[in-house]
Structure 1
Amino acid sequence: MNCLIVDDQEIFRTVLKRLLDLDTTLTLVGECADAFEAHQQIMSQQIDLIFLDIKMPGMSGIELAKILGDQHPLIIFTTSVNGYAAEAFELNVVDFLLKPISAARLLKAIEKAKEIIKSKGLTLNDQINEFAFIRDSNVVRRLKIKDIQYFEATGDYVKISMVDREYSIHSSLKNIEQKLPQDTFLRVHRSFIINVSKIDTVEGKTLVINKHLISVSDAYRADLNKKMQFL
């Protein structure tokens, strides 16, 4: 994982860098003394994990996380103030570490980040696109592609609606869209990808799949019309 350290205290950045050397799977791509510099780094390169201080001059770590939005890299908050824990976890961060941070506690948080990375998205059967594999908690499940009704983005997660049940995986809709067979699935909204064969009705800016109402954006309407085969 490409990592970034963001903390206004140079001594803590130095200590954290030494601790990160304990895990050879991590690549430290930079360190920043404030959130403004961190934002520029995050926008300009691929970063998977941020070790982010909360109390910093100018902009706090929590404010930076909110600016980055739903598609922010994985975040481990590092702070000397305990009162921010509840607000921090509302941002779907990996962990919240209180300074001083022990090596064991840091490595435990990193392992949590690795598990999330492993579980991101779904893996398709590349030969016939008949099945998809997802990680559901600690279980890898095989899903039939034809039984998937739609995907819905919900924060840092994507809900997979099947004919008989639902699953939730830690991923982005964009990541999933790149893996799906284009002849079957179509993006119809910034929050929805649908299985075209599951459409029951379309009226105006709304389509119905198995009694579920799904919004259709104007930007995707032309693509939807092309996919549907009118008699």
Structure 2
Amino acid sequence: MTQPIQILVVEDEMIIAANISMQLTEMGYEVSGIIPRGEDAISHIKNNLPDIVLIDIQLKGELDGIETAQKMQEFHNNLAIIYLTANADEANFNRAKLTRPYAFISKPFKKLDLQRSIELTIHQLKSNITTPSNDSKNGASSYILKDCLFVRHRETMVKLDIKDIRYIQAERNYCRIFSNEKEYLIVTTLKDMDEKLPQKHFLRIHRSYIINLSQIDEIGGTHVVISRKAIPMTKGMRTELLTRLQTI
């Protein structure tokens, strides 16, 4: 059974937020949360990653919608953002463009505006994922050897040295591999990758992330930093991480 698209609504006008949530539910989408403040939305996505974030540019609080989106993308740089705005001035528009949003919806908006923006965003998200070939459907989207990984890239299998992998991020039934040179999207689950990768070098520190221990730059209380990317870490994993680092 196909899982419904999950959409997080970040909107500080609760009547508007409730109306949006109702409309999204009627369209068949799943609202993963309704959050009024940017700071709380950032905390939410660390453990509840949605497919799409629908966010008002003019949020109350320390962070506006654009700043919130920027910080969200530090945890998930391909997060699909759709902005809601009642004031699409040039300055805000130019700031918002830097976060590569999938759409803008001007307030007040009609249900059809919302529906089409969501549908176009989903279409773009699907277009960004290469359709698996017959081989990849049969489990040949990647091969892991002792010191290297072969991943399917377009129509060929590309060799990737394991030591060059920075981290791996789950995207539903896909995994995005971030290496020192480029990114690869492969058709496999993070659980499958975790079982196949050499445990000496890799550790799953979050339900959505596996990291290469040798690539860590900083260790915080609830995250690690690899190449200026803050990666969330599940509570309790810090002790295991420090123990594993002593054995490398």
Scaled by the length of structure 2, what TM-score is found? 0.54
1:64 to 50, 64, 68: 68
Instruction: Answer whether contact 1:85 1:96 (CA < 8 A) is retained.
Output: no
CA shift at 1:149, angstroms? Answer: 8.8
CA RMSD of aligned residues (A): 3.5
1:27 to 25, 30, 48: 30
Q: What amino acid does structure 1 have at the position aligned with 2:55? A: L
Q: Distance in 2 between matches of 1:95 and 1:104?
A: 14
Instruction: Answer whether contact 2:57 2:66 (CA < 8 A) is retained.
Output: yes
Q: Distance in 2 between matches of 1:115 and 1:77?
A: 17
Q: What amino acid does structure 2 have at the position aligned with 1:192? A: K
For residues 88 and 145 of structure 1, do their structure 2 counterparts lie closer, same or farther at Cα, with a shift above 3 Å needed? same
Instruction: Answer whether contact 1:88 1:96 (CA < 8 A) is retained.
Output: no
Q: What amino acid does structure 2 have at the position aligned with 1:86? A: N
Scaled by the length of structure 1, what TM-score is found? 0.58
Q: Distance in 1 between matches of 2:168 and 2:129?
A: 9
1:102 corresponds to which residue?
A: 110
* 1:26-57 deviation digits (Å, cap 9, x = unpaired): 10121011111111211121311111011112
CA shift at 1:175, angstroms? Answer: 5.1
Question: Which structure has the bigger radius of gyration?
Answer: 1
Unaligned runs of 5+ in 1: 135-141, 151-171, 181-185, 195-216, 221-231
Please state if 1:145 is matched with 2:172: no
Instruction: Answer whether contact 1:80 1:98 (CA < 8 A) is retained.
Output: yes
Q: Distance in 2 between matches of 1:175 and 1:17?
A: 26
CA shift at 1:3, angstroms? Answer: 1.2
2:54 to 24, 39, 51: 51
Alignment of 1:174-193 (within 5 A): 174=169, 188-189=179-180, 191-192=181-182
Secondary structure class of the residue paired with 1:36: helix
Count of paired positions: 161
* 1:4-26 deviation digits (Å, cap 9, x = unpaired): 111111121122123213311x1
Q: Which stretch has the larger CA shift, 84-93 or 6-15?
A: 84-93
Q: Distance in 2 between matches of 1:144 and 1:16?
A: 44
Unaligned runs of 5+ in 2: 143-150, 162-166, 185-211, 216-248
CA shift at 1:103, angstroms? Answer: 1.0
Instruction: Answer whether contact 2:168 2:178 (CA < 8 A) is retained.
Output: no
Secondary structure class of the residue paired with 1:100: coil
The percentage of counterpart residues that share the same residue type is 18
For residues 101 and 219 of structure 1, do their structure 2 counterparts lie closer, same or farther at Cα, with a shift above 3 Å needed? same
Q: What amino acid does structure 2 have at the position aligned with 1:143? A: E
Instruction: Answer whether contact 1:4 1:50 (CA < 8 A) is retained.
Output: yes
1:219 to 183, 195, 214: 214
